[in-house]
Amino acid sequence: MKPVRSNSSPLTGRCFPWFSIFFLLVCAFINQTLLGAQIQSPVDISLGDRALRFLQMRDYSVRIVAVGSILIGISCGMMGSFVVTRRLSLFGDTLSHAVLPGIAIGFLWVEAKDNLALLIGASMAGFLGVACVTLLKKFSKVRQDSALGLVLSGFYAIGICILTRIQKMEFGNQAGLDTYLFGQVSSLSESDLWGICISLALIVLFMTSNHRELLVSGFDLEFSKSMGLPSEAIQYAMWGLLAFCVISSLQVIGVILASALLIIPAASASLLAKRMSTYILVSALLGAIAGFVGAFLSFLGQRIPTGPLIVVVATTFFLLILFLRPSQGIIVNWLQSRRQSRQIEMENMLKAIYQVMEKQEFSEPAVRMEEVTRRRGVGKDSRAKEIESLIDSGYVSRSYEKNKFAKLPHEQFISLTPKGWENACRIVRNHRLWELYLTNEARYAADHVHEDAEKIEHVLGEETVRKIERLLSNPKKDPHGKLIPSLVDVRKGWLPEFPLNKNE
Protein backbone atom coordinates (compact mmCIF):
# COMPACT_ATOMS: atom_id res chain seq x y z
CA MET A 1 0.00 0.00 0.00
CA LYS A 2 1.60 3.22 -1.06
CA PRO A 3 1.32 6.14 1.26
CA VAL A 4 -0.75 8.81 -0.37
CA ARG A 5 0.34 12.33 -0.01
CA SER A 6 -1.89 13.85 2.60
CA ASN A 7 -3.28 17.26 2.00
CA SER A 8 -2.31 18.93 5.22
CA SER A 9 -2.28 22.68 5.30
CA PRO A 10 1.11 24.33 5.25
CA LEU A 11 0.30 25.85 8.60
CA THR A 12 0.24 22.58 10.51
CA GLY A 13 3.76 21.80 9.40
CA ARG A 14 5.04 24.89 11.05
CA CYS A 15 3.24 24.69 14.36
CA PHE A 16 3.89 21.01 15.01
CA PRO A 17 7.33 21.38 16.63
CA TRP A 18 5.61 23.25 19.42
CA PHE A 19 3.42 20.29 19.89
CA SER A 20 6.36 17.99 20.39
CA ILE A 21 8.01 20.34 22.83
CA PHE A 22 4.78 20.25 24.70
CA PHE A 23 4.95 16.52 24.46
CA LEU A 24 8.39 16.49 26.02
CA LEU A 25 7.05 18.53 28.89
CA VAL A 26 4.22 16.09 29.37
CA CYS A 27 6.72 13.26 29.51
CA ALA A 28 8.66 15.14 32.13
CA PHE A 29 5.48 15.66 34.06
CA ILE A 30 4.68 11.98 33.95
CA ASN A 31 8.11 11.17 35.21
CA GLN A 32 7.85 13.60 38.07
CA THR A 33 4.49 12.40 39.18
CA LEU A 34 5.48 8.78 39.15
CA LEU A 35 6.22 8.77 42.82
CA GLY A 36 5.11 6.06 45.13
CA ALA A 37 6.23 3.20 47.23
CA GLN A 38 9.05 1.07 45.87
CA ILE A 39 8.07 -2.31 44.65
CA GLN A 40 8.45 -5.17 47.10
CA SER A 41 9.58 -8.60 46.16
CA PRO A 42 6.54 -9.81 44.24
CA VAL A 43 7.55 -13.42 43.97
CA ASP A 44 5.25 -14.85 46.57
CA ILE A 45 2.08 -13.11 45.49
CA SER A 46 -0.53 -15.11 43.63
CA LEU A 47 -1.30 -14.56 39.98
CA GLY A 48 -4.60 -12.82 40.57
CA ASP A 49 -3.08 -10.48 43.11
CA ARG A 50 -0.31 -9.66 40.75
CA ALA A 51 -2.72 -8.88 37.95
CA LEU A 52 -4.73 -6.68 40.27
CA ARG A 53 -1.62 -4.96 41.45
CA PHE A 54 -0.53 -4.23 37.93
CA LEU A 55 -3.88 -2.94 36.84
CA GLN A 56 -4.35 -0.74 39.88
CA MET A 57 -0.98 0.82 39.25
CA ARG A 58 -0.44 1.77 42.81
CA ASP A 59 3.24 0.86 42.76
CA TYR A 60 5.76 3.27 41.44
CA SER A 61 7.66 0.61 39.54
CA VAL A 62 4.49 -0.82 38.04
CA ARG A 63 3.68 2.59 36.74
CA ILE A 64 7.13 2.93 35.28
CA VAL A 65 6.79 -0.43 33.62
CA ALA A 66 3.40 0.39 32.17
CA VAL A 67 4.30 3.86 30.96
CA GLY A 68 7.67 2.70 29.66
CA SER A 69 6.28 -0.18 27.64
CA ILE A 70 3.52 1.97 26.18
CA LEU A 71 5.92 4.73 25.20
CA ILE A 72 8.28 2.24 23.64
CA GLY A 73 5.41 0.72 21.71
CA ILE A 74 4.45 4.16 20.43
CA SER A 75 7.92 5.18 19.38
CA CYS A 76 8.70 1.86 17.75
CA GLY A 77 5.33 1.87 16.02
CA MET A 78 5.89 5.34 14.61
CA MET A 79 9.42 4.63 13.53
CA GLY A 80 8.33 1.27 12.17
CA SER A 81 5.84 2.85 9.83
CA PHE A 82 8.73 4.52 8.05
CA VAL A 83 10.93 1.48 8.22
CA VAL A 84 8.30 -0.71 6.62
CA THR A 85 7.20 1.71 3.90
CA ARG A 86 10.81 2.27 2.94
CA ARG A 87 11.50 -1.46 2.96
CA LEU A 88 14.19 -1.21 5.57
CA SER A 89 12.78 -3.86 7.89
CA LEU A 90 15.85 -6.01 7.81
CA PHE A 91 18.10 -3.03 8.39
CA GLY A 92 16.27 -2.62 11.67
CA ASP A 93 17.00 -6.21 12.52
CA THR A 94 20.69 -5.85 11.70
CA LEU A 95 20.89 -2.64 13.64
CA SER A 96 19.43 -4.17 16.77
CA HIS A 97 21.84 -7.11 16.64
CA ALA A 98 24.78 -4.85 15.92
CA VAL A 99 24.37 -2.82 19.11
CA LEU A 100 25.26 -5.78 21.33
CA PRO A 101 29.04 -5.18 21.37
CA GLY A 102 28.35 -1.53 22.07
CA ILE A 103 26.32 -2.44 25.12
CA ALA A 104 29.03 -4.77 26.32
CA ILE A 105 31.76 -2.19 25.82
CA GLY A 106 29.68 0.51 27.41
CA PHE A 107 29.28 -1.71 30.42
CA LEU A 108 32.96 -2.44 30.49
CA TRP A 109 33.81 1.21 30.28
CA VAL A 110 32.16 2.21 33.53
CA GLU A 111 32.23 -1.28 35.02
CA ALA A 112 28.59 -0.98 36.02
CA LYS A 113 25.20 -0.92 34.42
CA ASP A 114 25.10 2.77 33.77
CA ASN A 115 22.44 3.74 31.29
CA LEU A 116 24.23 6.62 29.68
CA ALA A 117 27.36 4.60 29.01
CA LEU A 118 25.34 1.74 27.57
CA LEU A 119 23.41 4.15 25.40
CA ILE A 120 26.54 5.78 24.04
CA GLY A 121 28.20 2.43 23.39
CA ALA A 122 25.11 1.04 21.74
CA SER A 123 24.66 4.09 19.53
CA MET A 124 28.21 3.91 18.34
CA ALA A 125 28.05 0.21 17.60
CA GLY A 126 24.73 0.66 15.84
CA PHE A 127 26.08 3.39 13.61
CA LEU A 128 29.19 1.40 12.90
CA GLY A 129 27.06 -1.57 11.89
CA VAL A 130 24.88 0.46 9.53
CA ALA A 131 27.97 2.13 8.10
CA CYS A 132 29.50 -1.28 7.46
CA VAL A 133 26.43 -2.45 5.57
CA THR A 134 26.30 0.73 3.52
CA LEU A 135 30.00 0.63 2.68
CA LEU A 136 29.94 -3.05 1.79
CA LYS A 137 27.04 -2.47 -0.51
CA LYS A 138 28.58 0.55 -2.11
CA PHE A 139 32.17 -0.48 -2.57
CA SER A 140 32.30 -4.25 -2.78
CA LYS A 141 30.42 -6.83 -4.74
CA VAL A 142 28.81 -8.21 -1.61
CA ARG A 143 25.07 -8.09 -2.09
CA GLN A 144 22.78 -6.40 0.36
CA ASP A 145 21.34 -9.54 1.88
CA SER A 146 24.77 -11.04 2.46
CA ALA A 147 26.08 -7.75 3.84
CA LEU A 148 23.22 -7.62 6.32
CA GLY A 149 23.85 -11.20 7.34
CA LEU A 150 27.56 -10.57 7.76
CA VAL A 151 27.18 -7.49 9.89
CA LEU A 152 24.36 -8.95 11.93
CA SER A 153 26.13 -12.13 12.88
CA GLY A 154 29.63 -10.67 13.02
CA PHE A 155 28.75 -7.87 15.39
CA TYR A 156 26.60 -10.17 17.43
CA ALA A 157 29.50 -12.59 17.79
CA ILE A 158 31.79 -9.80 18.98
CA GLY A 159 29.12 -8.87 21.48
CA ILE A 160 28.84 -12.42 22.77
CA CYS A 161 32.62 -12.68 22.99
CA ILE A 162 32.86 -9.59 25.13
CA LEU A 163 29.87 -10.59 27.25
CA THR A 164 31.29 -14.00 28.02
CA ARG A 165 34.58 -12.30 28.79
CA ILE A 166 32.85 -9.91 31.16
CA GLN A 167 31.18 -12.75 33.00
CA LYS A 168 34.60 -14.10 33.85
CA MET A 169 35.84 -10.77 35.20
CA GLU A 170 35.47 -9.83 38.81
CA PHE A 171 32.59 -7.39 38.43
CA GLY A 172 30.88 -9.52 35.82
CA ASN A 173 28.47 -11.36 38.04
CA GLN A 174 26.48 -8.26 38.84
CA ALA A 175 26.04 -7.43 35.18
CA GLY A 176 22.61 -8.82 34.47
CA LEU A 177 23.35 -7.94 30.91
CA ASP A 178 21.42 -10.92 29.64
CA THR A 179 18.28 -8.89 30.14
CA TYR A 180 19.42 -7.04 27.05
CA LEU A 181 19.10 -10.14 24.93
CA PHE A 182 15.40 -10.72 25.47
CA GLY A 183 14.40 -7.75 27.54
CA GLN A 184 13.06 -7.60 31.04
CA VAL A 185 10.52 -4.94 31.64
CA SER A 186 10.68 -5.12 35.43
CA SER A 187 14.26 -3.93 35.37
CA LEU A 188 13.13 -0.66 33.82
CA SER A 189 14.22 2.30 35.90
CA GLU A 190 13.33 5.94 35.96
CA SER A 191 16.39 6.96 34.01
CA ASP A 192 15.50 4.41 31.33
CA LEU A 193 12.14 6.07 31.13
CA TRP A 194 13.82 9.39 30.51
CA GLY A 195 15.74 7.92 27.62
CA ILE A 196 12.55 6.53 26.17
CA CYS A 197 10.74 9.83 26.58
CA ILE A 198 13.51 11.74 24.89
CA SER A 199 13.71 9.39 21.95
CA LEU A 200 9.94 9.47 21.54
CA ALA A 201 9.90 13.24 21.70
CA LEU A 202 12.67 13.41 19.12
CA ILE A 203 10.81 11.07 16.84
CA VAL A 204 7.61 13.06 17.14
CA LEU A 205 9.50 16.29 16.60
CA PHE A 206 11.28 14.95 13.58
CA MET A 207 8.20 13.45 12.02
CA THR A 208 5.97 16.42 12.47
CA SER A 209 8.48 18.96 11.31
CA ASN A 210 9.61 16.99 8.28
CA HIS A 211 6.35 15.34 7.61
CA ARG A 212 6.03 16.32 3.98
CA GLU A 213 9.65 15.74 3.11
CA LEU A 214 9.47 12.28 4.63
CA LEU A 215 6.39 11.50 2.65
CA VAL A 216 7.83 12.61 -0.66
CA SER A 217 11.24 11.05 -0.20
CA GLY A 218 9.74 7.79 0.98
CA PHE A 219 7.40 7.58 -1.94
CA ASP A 220 9.70 8.74 -4.71
CA LEU A 221 13.31 9.47 -3.86
CA GLU A 222 14.26 10.77 -7.29
CA PHE A 223 11.35 13.13 -7.36
CA SER A 224 12.17 14.51 -3.94
CA LYS A 225 15.76 15.07 -5.02
CA SER A 226 14.58 16.88 -8.09
CA MET A 227 12.46 19.08 -5.88
CA GLY A 228 15.55 20.06 -3.97
CA LEU A 229 14.50 18.49 -0.69
CA PRO A 230 17.38 17.48 1.57
CA SER A 231 16.69 13.76 1.08
CA GLU A 232 20.14 12.61 2.08
CA ALA A 233 20.11 14.56 5.30
CA ILE A 234 16.67 13.24 6.11
CA GLN A 235 17.84 9.72 5.37
CA TYR A 236 20.72 10.03 7.82
CA ALA A 237 18.57 11.68 10.43
CA MET A 238 16.19 8.78 10.10
CA TRP A 239 18.99 6.31 10.61
CA GLY A 240 20.02 8.14 13.74
CA LEU A 241 16.51 8.17 15.09
CA LEU A 242 16.01 4.55 14.24
CA ALA A 243 19.14 3.63 16.15
CA PHE A 244 18.06 5.77 19.05
CA CYS A 245 14.61 4.25 19.09
CA VAL A 246 15.91 0.68 18.97
CA ILE A 247 18.49 1.32 21.66
CA SER A 248 16.10 2.99 24.05
CA SER A 249 13.72 0.06 23.74
CA LEU A 250 16.34 -2.64 24.26
CA GLN A 251 15.74 -2.79 27.98
CA VAL A 252 12.18 -3.86 27.38
CA ILE A 253 12.27 -5.93 24.25
CA GLY A 254 15.86 -7.07 23.89
CA VAL A 255 18.42 -7.11 21.12
CA ILE A 256 17.20 -10.14 19.25
CA LEU A 257 13.57 -9.18 18.89
CA ALA A 258 13.79 -5.39 18.80
CA SER A 259 13.11 -5.34 15.07
CA ALA A 260 9.82 -7.13 15.62
CA LEU A 261 8.31 -4.17 17.43
CA LEU A 262 9.32 -2.02 14.49
CA ILE A 263 7.96 -4.32 11.84
CA ILE A 264 4.87 -6.04 13.16
CA PRO A 265 2.70 -3.08 14.25
CA ALA A 266 3.63 -1.21 11.10
CA ALA A 267 2.88 -4.20 8.92
CA SER A 268 -0.50 -4.59 10.60
CA ALA A 269 -1.17 -0.91 10.07
CA SER A 270 -0.28 -1.22 6.41
CA LEU A 271 -3.18 -3.60 6.04
CA LEU A 272 -5.59 -1.04 7.42
CA ALA A 273 -4.44 2.47 6.62
CA LYS A 274 -4.48 4.13 3.26
CA ARG A 275 -2.90 7.41 4.23
CA MET A 276 0.45 7.93 5.83
CA SER A 277 -0.91 9.90 8.77
CA THR A 278 -3.45 7.23 9.72
CA TYR A 279 -0.82 4.65 9.06
CA ILE A 280 1.51 6.17 11.64
CA LEU A 281 -1.30 6.57 14.15
CA VAL A 282 -2.55 3.01 13.81
CA SER A 283 0.96 1.67 13.96
CA ALA A 284 1.75 3.66 17.10
CA LEU A 285 -1.50 2.55 18.69
CA LEU A 286 -0.87 -1.10 17.95
CA GLY A 287 2.66 -0.78 19.22
CA ALA A 288 1.42 0.76 22.44
CA ILE A 289 -1.14 -1.98 22.98
CA ALA A 290 1.38 -4.70 22.26
CA GLY A 291 3.87 -3.09 24.61
CA PHE A 292 1.39 -2.73 27.41
CA VAL A 293 -0.13 -6.20 27.13
CA GLY A 294 3.30 -7.76 26.79
CA ALA A 295 4.55 -5.95 29.86
CA PHE A 296 1.45 -7.01 31.76
CA LEU A 297 1.89 -10.66 30.86
CA SER A 298 5.56 -10.51 31.66
CA PHE A 299 4.72 -9.03 35.03
CA LEU A 300 2.34 -11.91 35.73
CA GLY A 301 4.84 -14.64 35.04
CA GLN A 302 7.90 -13.37 36.77
CA ARG A 303 10.52 -15.31 34.94
CA ILE A 304 9.36 -14.93 31.38
CA PRO A 305 11.30 -12.37 29.36
CA THR A 306 9.24 -9.47 28.05
CA GLY A 307 10.49 -9.30 24.49
CA PRO A 308 8.99 -12.54 23.20
CA LEU A 309 5.72 -11.78 24.97
CA ILE A 310 5.40 -8.41 23.30
CA VAL A 311 6.18 -9.96 19.95
CA VAL A 312 3.62 -12.71 20.41
CA VAL A 313 0.98 -10.17 21.38
CA ALA A 314 1.83 -8.00 18.39
CA THR A 315 1.66 -11.02 16.10
CA THR A 316 -1.72 -11.97 17.48
CA PHE A 317 -3.01 -8.53 16.64
CA PHE A 318 -1.46 -8.81 13.22
CA LEU A 319 -3.18 -12.10 12.54
CA LEU A 320 -6.51 -10.77 13.77
CA ILE A 321 -6.21 -7.79 11.48
CA LEU A 322 -5.07 -9.92 8.60
CA PHE A 323 -8.08 -12.18 8.79
CA LEU A 324 -10.73 -9.73 9.87
CA ARG A 325 -9.80 -6.52 8.11
CA PRO A 326 -12.71 -4.97 6.28
CA SER A 327 -11.41 -4.60 2.74
CA GLN A 328 -9.48 -7.76 1.95
CA GLY A 329 -9.76 -9.86 5.08
CA ILE A 330 -10.14 -13.55 4.55
CA ILE A 331 -13.54 -13.80 6.18
CA VAL A 332 -14.88 -10.77 4.35
CA ASN A 333 -13.45 -12.15 1.12
CA TRP A 334 -15.09 -15.45 1.71
CA LEU A 335 -18.49 -13.85 2.33
CA GLN A 336 -18.08 -11.73 -0.74
CA SER A 337 -17.13 -14.59 -2.96
CA ARG A 338 -20.11 -16.57 -1.70
CA ARG A 339 -22.41 -13.69 -2.46
CA GLN A 340 -20.92 -13.37 -5.89
CA SER A 341 -21.23 -17.07 -6.61
CA ARG A 342 -24.90 -16.92 -5.64
CA GLN A 343 -25.43 -13.92 -7.85
CA ILE A 344 -23.81 -15.62 -10.80
CA GLU A 345 -25.80 -18.79 -10.24
CA MET A 346 -28.98 -16.81 -10.12
CA GLU A 347 -28.17 -14.87 -13.24
CA ASN A 348 -27.31 -18.03 -15.11
CA MET A 349 -30.61 -19.56 -14.09
CA LEU A 350 -32.56 -16.52 -15.22
CA LYS A 351 -30.75 -16.70 -18.50
CA ALA A 352 -31.66 -20.35 -18.86
CA ILE A 353 -35.32 -19.51 -18.30
CA TYR A 354 -35.09 -16.79 -20.91
CA GLN A 355 -33.51 -19.16 -23.36
CA VAL A 356 -36.23 -21.76 -22.85
CA MET A 357 -38.83 -19.10 -23.44
CA GLU A 358 -37.00 -17.94 -26.49
CA LYS A 359 -37.01 -21.46 -27.84
CA GLN A 360 -40.78 -21.50 -27.48
CA GLU A 361 -40.75 -18.16 -29.26
CA PHE A 362 -42.24 -16.48 -26.20
CA SER A 363 -45.55 -18.16 -26.85
CA GLU A 364 -46.07 -19.18 -23.24
CA PRO A 365 -45.54 -17.07 -20.16
CA ALA A 366 -44.54 -20.09 -18.12
CA VAL A 367 -41.95 -22.75 -18.82
CA ARG A 368 -41.54 -26.25 -17.58
CA MET A 369 -39.12 -26.43 -14.70
CA GLU A 370 -37.79 -29.70 -16.06
CA GLU A 371 -36.65 -28.00 -19.18
CA VAL A 372 -34.91 -25.21 -17.36
CA THR A 373 -32.98 -27.51 -15.11
CA ARG A 374 -32.05 -29.66 -18.06
CA ARG A 375 -30.71 -26.64 -19.81
CA ARG A 376 -28.54 -25.71 -16.87
CA GLY A 377 -27.17 -29.22 -16.82
CA VAL A 378 -25.47 -31.05 -13.96
CA GLY A 379 -26.96 -31.64 -10.54
CA LYS A 380 -30.71 -31.55 -10.81
CA ASP A 381 -31.22 -31.18 -7.09
CA SER A 382 -28.96 -28.21 -6.70
CA ARG A 383 -30.58 -26.58 -9.68
CA ALA A 384 -33.97 -27.05 -8.12
CA LYS A 385 -32.59 -25.39 -5.02
CA GLU A 386 -31.38 -22.49 -7.10
CA ILE A 387 -34.85 -22.04 -8.48
CA GLU A 388 -36.23 -22.09 -4.97
CA SER A 389 -33.94 -19.26 -4.03
CA LEU A 390 -34.97 -17.35 -7.15
CA ILE A 391 -38.56 -17.75 -6.08
CA ASP A 392 -37.65 -16.55 -2.61
CA SER A 393 -36.03 -13.42 -3.95
CA GLY A 394 -39.02 -12.69 -6.13
CA TYR A 395 -37.55 -13.19 -9.55
CA VAL A 396 -39.65 -16.15 -10.45
CA SER A 397 -43.11 -17.36 -9.61
CA ARG A 398 -44.20 -20.95 -9.66
CA SER A 399 -47.38 -22.60 -10.78
CA TYR A 400 -48.37 -26.26 -10.77
CA GLU A 401 -50.20 -27.93 -13.50
CA LYS A 402 -51.81 -31.25 -13.31
CA ASN A 403 -49.90 -33.92 -15.09
CA LYS A 404 -51.64 -35.64 -17.93
CA PHE A 405 -50.93 -38.93 -16.31
CA ALA A 406 -52.56 -38.57 -12.97
CA LYS A 407 -50.26 -40.87 -11.11
CA LEU A 408 -47.14 -38.81 -11.64
CA PRO A 409 -46.53 -35.81 -9.41
CA HIS A 410 -47.60 -32.39 -10.52
CA GLU A 411 -45.48 -30.84 -13.14
CA GLN A 412 -43.94 -27.60 -12.05
CA PHE A 413 -44.08 -24.54 -14.22
CA ILE A 414 -42.24 -21.34 -13.56
CA SER A 415 -42.62 -17.89 -14.98
CA LEU A 416 -40.62 -14.77 -14.62
CA THR A 417 -41.86 -11.87 -12.56
CA PRO A 418 -41.33 -8.39 -14.01
CA LYS A 419 -38.23 -8.06 -11.87
CA GLY A 420 -36.98 -11.43 -13.05
CA TRP A 421 -37.72 -10.59 -16.63
CA GLU A 422 -35.75 -7.41 -16.38
CA ASN A 423 -32.74 -9.22 -15.00
CA ALA A 424 -32.97 -12.07 -17.45
CA CYS A 425 -33.14 -9.63 -20.35
CA ARG A 426 -30.23 -7.72 -18.97
CA ILE A 427 -28.03 -10.76 -18.70
CA VAL A 428 -28.92 -12.12 -22.13
CA ARG A 429 -28.38 -8.72 -23.61
CA ASN A 430 -24.97 -8.44 -21.94
CA HIS A 431 -24.00 -11.82 -23.26
CA ARG A 432 -25.00 -11.18 -26.83
CA LEU A 433 -23.72 -7.64 -26.94
CA TRP A 434 -20.35 -8.80 -25.75
CA GLU A 435 -20.22 -11.52 -28.36
CA LEU A 436 -20.98 -8.97 -30.97
CA TYR A 437 -18.39 -6.60 -29.62
CA LEU A 438 -15.72 -9.27 -29.70
CA THR A 439 -16.49 -10.33 -33.25
CA ASN A 440 -16.96 -6.87 -34.69
CA GLU A 441 -14.44 -4.79 -32.81
CA ALA A 442 -11.81 -7.17 -31.58
CA ARG A 443 -12.04 -9.45 -34.62
CA TYR A 444 -12.60 -12.71 -32.94
CA ALA A 445 -14.10 -15.65 -34.74
CA ALA A 446 -17.78 -16.08 -33.97
CA ASP A 447 -17.30 -19.57 -32.57
CA HIS A 448 -14.81 -18.25 -30.04
CA VAL A 449 -16.75 -15.65 -28.23
CA HIS A 450 -19.35 -17.57 -26.28
CA GLU A 451 -17.15 -18.76 -23.48
CA ASP A 452 -15.82 -15.33 -22.84
CA ALA A 453 -19.24 -13.78 -22.90
CA GLU A 454 -20.28 -16.32 -20.27
CA LYS A 455 -17.89 -14.60 -17.91
CA ILE A 456 -18.23 -11.00 -18.95
CA GLU A 457 -22.02 -10.94 -18.85
CA HIS A 458 -21.93 -10.94 -15.06
CA VAL A 459 -19.71 -7.93 -14.69
CA LEU A 460 -20.81 -5.76 -17.58
CA GLY A 461 -22.13 -2.52 -16.11
CA GLU A 462 -24.87 -0.32 -17.60
CA GLU A 463 -22.35 2.30 -18.54
CA THR A 464 -20.17 -0.09 -20.49
CA VAL A 465 -23.23 -1.49 -22.19
CA ARG A 466 -24.16 1.99 -23.36
CA LYS A 467 -20.64 2.45 -24.67
CA ILE A 468 -20.71 -0.80 -26.56
CA GLU A 469 -24.14 -0.08 -27.99
CA ARG A 470 -22.93 3.26 -29.22
CA LEU A 471 -19.82 1.69 -30.66
CA LEU A 472 -21.84 -0.93 -32.51
CA SER A 473 -24.61 1.57 -33.38
CA ASN A 474 -27.40 -0.15 -31.45
CA PRO A 475 -27.27 -3.64 -32.89
CA LYS A 476 -30.29 -5.91 -33.03
CA LYS A 477 -28.73 -9.31 -33.55
CA ASP A 478 -25.78 -11.14 -32.08
CA PRO A 479 -23.19 -12.92 -34.22
CA HIS A 480 -25.20 -16.13 -34.06
CA GLY A 481 -28.21 -14.34 -35.43
CA LYS A 482 -30.17 -14.22 -32.22
CA LEU A 483 -32.03 -11.13 -31.16
CA ILE A 484 -30.47 -8.94 -28.54
CA PRO A 485 -33.08 -7.82 -26.01
CA SER A 486 -33.22 -4.06 -26.25
CA LEU A 487 -33.47 -1.51 -23.51
CA VAL A 488 -37.16 -1.25 -24.16
CA ASP A 489 -37.60 -4.96 -23.58
CA VAL A 490 -35.70 -4.73 -20.35
CA ARG A 491 -37.78 -1.90 -18.98
CA LYS A 492 -41.13 -3.10 -20.23
CA GLY A 493 -41.39 -6.17 -18.12
CA TRP A 494 -43.01 -9.37 -19.20
CA LEU A 495 -46.15 -8.95 -21.20
CA PRO A 496 -47.33 -12.29 -22.51
CA GLU A 497 -49.79 -10.89 -24.97
CA PHE A 498 -47.12 -8.71 -26.48
CA PRO A 499 -44.11 -10.94 -27.12
CA LEU A 500 -40.67 -9.61 -27.57
CA ASN A 501 -39.74 -7.81 -30.76
CA LYS A 502 -42.76 -9.19 -32.52
CA ASN A 503 -42.96 -6.35 -34.92
CA GLU A 504 -39.57 -7.11 -36.41
Partner 1 sequence: MTLIPEYDFKKIFFEPWSTLELCIWNGQIILMGILVCWTCGIVGSFIVVRRMALMGDAISHGILPGLALAFICSGSMALGPMWIGSCVAGITCSFCIEWLRFQTPIKEDAALGLVFTSFFATGVLMLGMEAENAHIDPECILYGEIGFTPLAPDLKLGSLRLGNQALWTMGGVFLSVAIAAVVFYRQILISSFDPILARSMGTPVRQVHLGLMLSLSLATVASLEAVGVILVVAMFVFPAVTASFFFDRLSSIVFFSLPLGLAYSIGGFHLAHWFDCSLAASMVVFAGLLFIPCCFLAPNSGILWKITSLRNVGR
Partner 2 sequence: MRNSQKPIEIHDLTVSYQKKPVLYGIDLEVEKGSLVGIIGPNGAGKSTLLKTIMNMIKPNGGYVRIFGHPPKKGISCIGYVPQRESVDWDFPVTVMDVVLMGRYGKLNWFQRIRKADRKIASECLEKVGMLHLADRQIGNLSGGQQQRVFLARALAQESQLYIMDEPFSGVDAVTEKTIVLMLKEMKKMGKTLLIVHHDLSSAKEYFDYLLLLNMRKVAYGTIQDVFSHDLLQKTYGGRLTILSEMASQTAGNREIEKEAYSTSE
**Which residues in this chain contact partner 1 in the complex, by CB under 8 A?**
1, 84, 87-90, 92-93, 97, 108, 136, 139-143, 145-146, 148-150, 152-154, 156-165, 168-170, 181-182, 256-257, 259-260, 262-264, 266-267, 270-271, 303-305, 307-309, 311-312, 315, 318, 322, 328
Q: Which residues pair with 398 in a beta bridge?
A: 414
What SS3 class is residue 220?
Answer: coil
Distances (CA, A) of 228 to 53, 217, 222, 271, 272: 55, 11, 10, 32, 32
Q: Does 340 bind partner 2 (CB under 8 A)?
A: yes
Secondary structure of 290-345 in HEC code, one letter for each residue? HHHHHHHHHHHCCCCCHHHHHHHHHHHHHHHHHHHCCCCCHHHHHHHHHHHHHHHH
Which of partner 1, partner 2, none does residue 191 bind (CB under 5 to 8 Å by kind)?
none
Which of partner 2, partner 1, none does residue 76 bind (CB under 5 to 8 Å by kind)?
none
Q: Contact at 8 Å (CB) between 40 and 232?
A: no
Q: Which residues pair with 412 in a beta bridge?
A: 400
Which of partner 1, partner 2, none does residue 266 bind (CB under 5 to 8 Å by kind)?
partner 1
Q: Which is nearer to partner 1, 97 or 383 (CB)?
A: 97
- Compute the least distance from the CB of residue 12 to partner 2, in Å: 38
Instruction: Kindly tell me the burial class for residue 143, based on how many C-beta atoms sit within 10 Å of its own C-beta (0-12, 13-18, 19 or more).
Output: exposed
> How many C-beta atoms lie closer than 10 Å to residue 411's C-beta?
15
Q: Does 378 bind partner 2 (CB under 8 A)?
A: yes
Which of partner 2, partner 1, none does residue 162 bind (CB under 5 to 8 Å by kind)?
partner 1
Q: Contact at 8 Å (CB) between 434 and 448?
A: no
- Compute the least distance from the CB of residue 339 to partner 2, in Å: 9
Question: Measured on CA atoms in the order 63, 68, 71, 77, is the torsion positive or negative?
Answer: negative
Q: Which of residues 135-174 bind partner 2 (CB under 8 A)?
A: 141, 143
Strand order in the sheet with 366-368: 366-368, 411-416, 396-401
- Compute the least distance from the CB of residue 466 to partner 2, in Å: 11
Instruction: Give the C-alpha separation, 415 to 352, whole Å.
Output: 12
Q: Which is nearer to partner 1, 145 or 497 (CB)?
A: 145
- Compute the least distance from the CB of residue 125 to partner 2, in Å: 30
Stretch that binds partner 2, among 63-71, 168-176, 227-235, 459-467 (CB under 8 A): 459-467
- Compute the least distance from the CB of residue 153 to partner 2, in Å: 21
Best CA proximity match to 421, nearest among 364, 491, 368: 491
- Compute the least distance from the CB of residue 294 to partner 1, in Å: 10
Stretch that binds partner 2, among 16-24, 120-128, 264-272, 457-465 (CB under 8 A): 457-465
Stretch that binds partner 2, among 13-21, 29-37, 97-105, 442-450 (CB under 8 A): 442-450
- Compute the least distance from the CB of residue 467 to partner 2, in Å: 6
Opening angle at CA 84, ends 80 and 88, nearest 5:
100
Instruction: Give the C-alpha separation, 369 to 334, whole Å.
Output: 31
> In this chain, which of 454, 487, 492, 499 binds partner 2, going by CB under 8 A?
454
Instruction: Give the C-alpha separation, 189 to 70, whole Å.
Output: 14
- Compute the least distance from the CB of residue 449 to partner 2, in Å: 8
Torsion of CA 414, 416, 419, 424, to 10 degrees: 110
Dmax (CA) of the chain:
108
Q: Does 373 bind partner 2 (CB under 8 A)?
A: no
Best CA proximity match to 262, nearest among 238, 239, 246, 240: 246
Q: Which is nearer to partner 2, 148 or 295 (CB)?
A: 148
- Compute the least distance from the CB of residue 433 to partner 2, in Å: 11
Contact residues toward partner 2 (CB under 8 A) are 141, 143, 337, 340-341, 344-345, 348, 351-352, 355, 375-378, 434, 437-438, 441-445, 448, 450-452, 454-456, 458-460, 464, 467-468, 471
